[in-house]
Amino acid sequence: MSADGFTERYFHAQDDLRLYFRDYGPRNAARLPLLCLPGLTRNARDFHDFAMRQAQDRRVICFDFRGRGRSAYDPTPSNYQPTVYLSDLQHLLAVTHLHRVIVLGTSMGGIMAMAMAAAMPTVLAGVILNDVGPDVSEVGRQRIAGYIGNPVHAPDHQTAMAILRKTYGPAYPKLDDAGWMRITRATFTEDTARGGLRLDYDLNIAVALREQAKQPLPDLWPLFRGLRHVPVLALRGTLSDILTAETLIRMKREHAGMATVTVPDVGHVPQLDEPEAATAIDAFLAGL
C-alpha cells in the first residue's frame, strides 16, 4: 500500500484494454467490501476521502471506467456504453476475487449499480445511489450535453478551479476553497502535450453520448425494481437537476424499504462528506 493509503492496480478487460482501480483497506476485512463507481466523466479520485474513512474496517475498491482517469482510452468510442461497462465490472470483480459487494454509485455509477442488479444480482449486498434514479431530468441531461466533450485547458490549478467554480457554482453555493480545490484536482490532469492541465477523460465519450441521444432513453424502472430485495440508500441534493424530488418519491413507493436522505444546499452531486450524507451512509453501512 502506498503512503496515500491505497494500492494502484490494473487489469485487462475482455478487449485487452488496460483498466485501473484503487484498492483501499485490508483485503481480509470481515466487513463487506465497498465498490465505488464514479459518474459519467469522473474517476476514482472523487472517492478518496470517503474511501479513507471507510477503509479502517473494510476493503474499498474505487474504479476508473474506461476512458477516465488512469484507465486507457478506448480507440472505439462506441464502446463507451453500459453493456461494455458491465463486462468491465465483471472482470474487475473476478480479478479482485469479490463475490459480494456493497456498491456506491454516483450518477452514471448508480445506473450501473442498477444494471448490476439485473446482470449479476447475487453480487449485490447493498446499494447507495448518489443523486441518481431511474428517471433522469431532461434539464440535467441538456446541461450535461452542453459541456461534455468540450476541451478545457488551464495553465494551473487555480485557473482550473476558477473555471469549475464558474461552471458548477450553482450546484455548490456553500462550498469553500478547499472543497473546490479537491474537486479541481479530481477533474484535471497534467497535459503532457501542451503543458498545464486538461480534463481527465476521453473527450470522445461525447461521441458515444451523442449517438445514444438519438434514441429514446431506455426505461430504467425495471432495473431499479431489481433492487427491491437489496438494501438501498438513495441520496439527493436539494438543488439537483438530475434526480427530482418526484422521482425520489416514486422510488420510495417502488422500494418500500429504501432509505433516503436529502442533502441541503447541494446540487448534482453530493460530495459524500456533507454531515447529512456521511451520517446516513455510516448508519446504512453499519447494518450490512
pLDDT at position 217 is: 78
pTM of the model: 0.96
**Could you identify the residue written with the cell 450546484?**
171
The SS3 call for residue 247 is helix
Domain parsing of the chain, residue ranges: 6-150+218-286, 151-202
The SS3 call for residue 119 is helix
Mean per-residue pLDDT over the chain, rounded: 95
pLDDT value at 116 more than 80: yes
CATH, domain range 6-150+218-286: 3.40.50.1820
Share above pLDDT 70 across residues of the chain, in percent, rounded to a whole number: 99
pLDDT at position 80 is: 95
Residue range 53-62, pLDDT digits in tens: 999 999 999 9
- Beta-strand ranges (E) seen in 2-112 are 6-12, 18-24, 34-37, 60-64, 101-106
The SS3 call for residue 230 is coil
Packing angle, helices 157-168 and 177-187, rounded to 10: 100
